[in-house]
Amino acid sequence: MQLAIVTGVSRGLGEALAVDLLARGFIVIGAGRAVSGKLNGANYLHATCDFARPAQIAAGVAPALRAAAGRKPSVATLINSAAVASPAGVFGRLDAAEIEAAFAINVAAPTVMTDLFCRTFPDEGTARRIINISSGAAQTALAGSAVYSMSKTALEMLTKAVCVEQTAPTFQCITLRPGIFETGMQAYMRTRDPVEFPSVAMFRGFKTNGLLKDPADVAARIVDKLVLGPVDNGRTYLHTDL
């Protein structure tokens, strides 16, 4: 039995990853507030939770994780994919509530999910892997995207912290910066006011110039390379590695 836990499965990359993993015979637990209509069948279980409220995540996710652990999977993989790009805006125009929600979803929630994963699958007999979906924004600051960039930088530190603590040879934790592909996040960025989000022209150019990949294609490459293939523990993978 191969198990995958995927966050952010209502749309975008999380949805595409869950669909691909199900097609390959994985048992998939999708975590989030909503579930895509593309996800169904005996091998799919949805764990309802709100990542904007990290303290409540365990109540929605832990029972599904414990049930899956009871089936003694040979492989257990957590993919922290859920994220928001808001608030997109320059300093002096940001909303405090949106800042709080962004760090809850992009940083606190994957930290909680990682903790639950480590609690639930402590047995070194299970091959365990965590894949944190980051962004090039973790390395390069974009005008109007400070909150998103800061949150992704924090997510990459999560990978490093896990690797320091989880030293068993059957445990790997990696980061992926998957590049640009068509998602609701990209659409959100394209619709921003240039006064508030000076980088909007770059995101509109991605669409105009046909540079955005299909999330399904990106998901398939991630599964082939980083879920099923061998990985270097602690490494930050780039879209060119897929």
Alpha-carbon gap, residue 126 to 163, rounded angstroms: 17
Quick one: pLDDT at residue 149? 96
Helices (H), the chain: 12-23, 57-69, 96-103, 109-120, 146-165, 184-190, 200-208, 215-222
Cis peptide before 87 (omega within 30 of 0): yes
Phi-psi region of 3 (alpha: psi -120 to 50; beta: other; left: phi over 0): beta
State the pTM of this model. Answer: 0.94
Quick one: pLDDT at residue 183? 83
In the chain (242 residues long), the average pLDDT of successive 10-residue segments reads: 96 96 98 92 96 97 96 97 94 96 98 98 96 96 94 98 97 96 84 88 91 92 98 97 96
Quick one: pLDDT at residue 211? 84
Q: What is the CATH number of the domain that holds 204?
A: 3.40.50.720
**Exposed/middle/buried for 195, CB within 10 Å: 0-12, 13-18, 19+?**
exposed
Quick one: pLDDT at residue 25? 97
Residue numbers of the domain that contains 95 = 2-241
Q: Taken in order 166, 50, 239, 138, is the CA torsion positive or negative?
A: negative
Rg for the chain (alpha carbons), in Å? Answer: 17
Q: How many CA atoms lie within 13 A of 54 on its CB side?
A: 18
Quick one: pLDDT at residue 237? 98
Quick one: pLDDT at residue 197? 87
- Whether the Cβ atoms of residue 33 and residue 48 lie closer than 8 Å to each other: yes
* Overall domain count for the chain: 1
Quick one: pLDDT at residue 166? 96
